[in-house]
Amino acid sequence: MTDLAAWVLSIGAFAGIVLCTVVAAKSVAGDPARGRRRCPRCWHELGPRSDAAGDSARRCSECGFTAMREADTLRTRRSLRRAAFAVLGVFLIAVAAQLRIADRGFWATMPTGVVMFAAPRVDGFEYRSPAWELAWRVTNGLTTREQDLAALALLVEGDDDARPPSSEWRLKYRDLAGAVLSRFQRDDPALLRLLEIPPLIEVSSLPTSAMPHIAIVDIQAWWPPTVDGRVEIRFSDGTVRRARFDPQSRAPSLYVELPEAYAPGEAFEVLLSHRLRASIAGEDEGWTPYPPFEAKATGFVDNPRSATDGWQPVDSPTMREAVGTIFSDGLIVWRAGTPRAGLRFNHRATAGEEFEETAVGLRVEVCEDGVVRRTSRMWWRGGMFGSDPAWMPSIEDAEALARLHEQDPSLDARWTLRISGDEALASYAIPPRSDSGDASATAQGETPRVRRWFSGTLEVPLRFERQNAVSQPRRFTPY
């Protein structure tokens, strides 16, 4: 809806209700005789009263109607039919307005200028709020270029109660962020203003005492699509972890192995940088860093890996068959992009009784003639009340996987999938120690104790699908 249409509808609806209300009131109040003798049918004036004229004094010379009584000539002129139609008009206008308000809320009836003025001043982030309505109009192309730029400025600056990147700002303007990115062209210079929004860096820990310790890094950044990012994590012993960062790509978070010498609670730095894709010259050139973010990894807790808890390896042909079923869909190999391959798996194959109280930690390797070309590391808790899987970023030989996409299908047999149970990875699936050792405790809201880890190894022919497309980038790609 254009601003002109919004104004016409809003003002027209208000004016229509006022007009119908006035007509109804006047129709009911009527026109009093005030001593005038009038025909009760056509309201033509009959003139002064004359007793000598008799009935003829009550006969209308205009329409010929004769009033039954003298009192009828002094009636107040009312139009109840007109009043009824006016009341009906008010009702219909109100229903039409209500239907529109019910569709997108009150702010849908307001011009964009009014909505934009109200968005930073009216609290609320829910459906039909001014901020939501503004995002809806930007997304659907109902705004002008100037209004789009104003919406972009509002997103970047926030308001007094919602400054970026606070949780209030993220709740209130989350829809507007997506709307702005969809409205502007990818290479529109105006989108560079998004770089003014401070990124949000969050660091947590995998709650286990298993070694090496794992820190979980997640970053939210509101960048235009033409911007590349990278993150460096620097520890006091000189260890550096690096990853490419693409905020518009899919999760998961970045799982970082902490150095062996790392002491829980020790500070380390997370450095985030960005650069325009068009300015790429060398690997380390053109980067603009944000201020360093100081983080600490804490929250490591004990888990039942002692001998008294019965922590022991377990393996059987049935378990190996179930684990092989997890990866029956095999590998996707893309024509180009990073990553070059993606492993498809369904961990629900370990939901059976044989995996109760069992932690599953797997090292899954794609091998070419026995040489490892890609490695995935993942873990979860098996059994009926198992956990969702988590995994470390995959390590792959992109050049070798490119051969897999392009080679003669007759050579496919050279590739295999090697799946190995890993005690260290399985340890990450152990929940914190619980007072109850009963696996059924999960049904009662308690955390079950994990007593075993899958230790089997199997190697199967690699099933894969070649896709003539570019892969979807991951949020974090270690390098």
Mean confidence (pLDDT) of the chain: 83
Q: For position 235, what pLDDT does the model report? A: 94
**Lowest-confidence range among 7-16, 82-91, 142-151, 420-429?**
7-16
- Looking at residue 101, what is its pLDDT? 56
What's the angle, vertex CA 155, arms to CA 149 and CA 159, rounded to 5?
A: 120
Q: What is the CA radius of gyration of the chain?
A: 37
Residue 170 has which token pair? 């993220």
pTM exceeding 0.75: no
pLDDT of residue 8: 58
pLDDT tops 90 at residue 382? yes
Q: How confident is the model at residue 74 (pLDDT cuts 50, 70, 90)?
A: confident
Tell me the average pLDDT across 228-244.
93
Q: How confident is the model at residue 3 (pLDDT cuts 50, 70, 90)?
A: low
The pLDDT of 164-186, averaged and rounded, is 92
pLDDT, tens only, 466-478: 888 988 888 898 8
Residue 15 pLDDT level (bands cut at 50, 70, 90): confident
Average pLDDT value for residue range 143-153: 94
- Comparing 40 with 219, the larger pLDDT belongs to 219
* Residues 273, 275, 277, 283, CA torsion sign: negative
Domain made up of 200-296: CATH architecture: Sandwich (2.60)
| Mean of pLDDT values over 248-254 | 80
Tell me: pLDDT of 349 over 90. yes
Least confident of 80-89, 107-116, 443-452: 443-452
User: What local confidence, expressed as pLDDT, does residue 444 receive?
Assistant: 43
pLDDT of residue 56: 65
Q: What is the arithmetic mean of pLDDT over 382-395? A: 89
Residue 314 scores a pLDDT above 90: yes
Per DSSP, 143 falls in state S
pLDDT in tens, 254-293: 999 899 888 888 999 999 999 988 766 677 788 999 999 9
> Hey, where are the domains in the chain?
107-196, 200-296, 307-472
Kindly state the average pLDDT of the residues 394-412: 82
For residue 183, the number of C-alpha atoms closer than 13 Å in the C-beta half-sphere is 27
For residue 377, give the amino acid letter: R
For 198, which DSSP code? P
- CB-based contact 148:184 (threshold 8 Å): yes
Question: 357 and 439 in contact (C-beta within 8 Å)?
Answer: yes
pLDDT at 435 over 50: no
Instruction: Identify the top-confidence range among 199-213, 216-230, 397-411.
Output: 216-230
Task: For residue range 315-338, list pLDDT tens digits in order.
Answer: 999 999 999 999 999 899 998 888
Q: Say how far apart CA 216 and CA 206 lie, in whole Å.
A: 7
